[in-house]
Structure 1
Amino acid sequence: MKFMIIVKASKDSEAGVMPSEALLTAMGQYNEELVKAGVMEAGEGLHPSSRGARVRFANGTHIVTEGPFAETEQLIAGFWMWNLKSKEEAIEWVKRCPNPMPGTEAEIEIRQVFEADDFGAEFTPELREREERLRAEIESRKA
């Protein structure tokens, strides 16, 4: 099972405050544990929402809103992609994570990623084949 682990933003992360060397070191060690355990597939920090944008789809139009966005508690500061056996295993790994926002209350959200079988009959063999071709193309570009 694949999970996206979402690190929620804080006032500091939205203000562009960079993590300390101590936090970078602790996170680096944690990421090493994840990689050695075969859990981590990807992980990145995100720039503040002031450097982002949102595109809203409404009535056949696209409405672009430039950041920053006010609702800090709903914003994302970073993420990991993990491959695990269960949500419970993801929870145990997250509990081992250093506080991503030291000195504050921080929140990490765990969300399971859909797999092909989750979509049912609507995900036809033709659509599955197309998806597999795209994934293979993505992998070939990494090499």
Structure 2
Amino acid sequence: MKYMLIMRATDETYKAFQDVDFNEIIETMGRFNDEMIRAGVLISAEGLDDAAQGVIVDYSSDPPVVTDGPYGETKELFGGFWILNVASKEEAVEWAKRAPMAGPGAKAEIRRVSTIDEFPQDNEWIKKERAWREATGQL
């Protein structure tokens, strides 16, 4: 089963890390990623750019409204993710507990990633996606 570990942080988290050497952060995350690679569970891992560089597309109106970052009244920001291939949610939780994310407001959200096999296989869009995944080596 695939699980996504979503890194979340608050303004307080970012403030606590503002004076930490970025190379130290990379080293710590690199060791954790390497441990997951050696265990054979890491599928992908990505960090996200500063939220101030992003945009929000709000679908509550038609047409959608696009707003440049930084976001207003944000309690938590999605900072990056890992996708793991593990046997169970409990195993994903164990990996998340080992992530080097100590600090005020730092959290990881764990969500199972649905597979294409869980959708109706006779649907034309699922068939097209399956063909694309097969053609690109994803299946």
TM-score tier (shorter): 0.7 to 0.9
Q: Match for 1:95: what amino acid?
A: K
Deviations 1:54-84 (A, max 9, x none): 1123454121111111344332011111111
Report the Cα distance in structure 2 between the residues aligned to 1:137 and 1:13, rounded to whole angstroms.
41
Report the Cα distance in structure 2 between the residues aligned to 1:103 and 1:61, rounded to whole angstroms.
39
The farther-off stretch of 109-118 and 43-52 is 109-118
Matched, 1:83 2:85: yes
Deviations 1:4-54 (A, max 9, x none): 11000232548x948633222111011001111111111111112110011
Indicate the percent of aligned positions where both proteins have the same amino acid: 36
| Match runs of 1:43-82 below 5 Å | 43-58=45-60, 60-82=62-84
Partner of 1:23: 25
Q: Match for 1:112: what amino acid?
A: R
Q: Which runs of 5+ in 2 are unaligned?
A: none
Partner of 1:127: 125
Report the Cα distance in structure 2 between the residues aligned to 1:136 and 1:64, rounded to whole angstroms.
34
Partner of 1:40: 42
SS where residue 61 of structure 1 aligns? coil
Q: Please tell me whether the aligned partners of residues 4 and 113 of structure 2 are also in contact (alpha carbons under 8 angstroms).
A: yes
Q: Please tell me whether the aligned partners of residues 13 and 77 of structure 1 are also in contact (alpha carbons under 8 angstroms).
A: no
Matched, 1:95 2:111: no
**Cα 1:55–1:103, aligned 2, differ >3 Å: closer, same or farther?**
closer
SS where residue 80 of structure 1 aligns? strand
Q: Match for 1:8: what amino acid?
A: R
Matched, 1:107 2:128: no
Deviations 1:79-113 (A, max 9, x none): 111111111000001111112xx542410110111
SS where residue 59 of structure 2 aligns? strand
Report the Cα distance in structure 2 between the residues aligned to 1:108 and 1:88, rounded to whole angstroms.
14
Name the TM-score, length of structure 1 as normaliser.
0.79
Q: Which runs of 5+ in 1 are unaligned?
A: none
For the aligned residues, what is the CA RMSD? 2.6
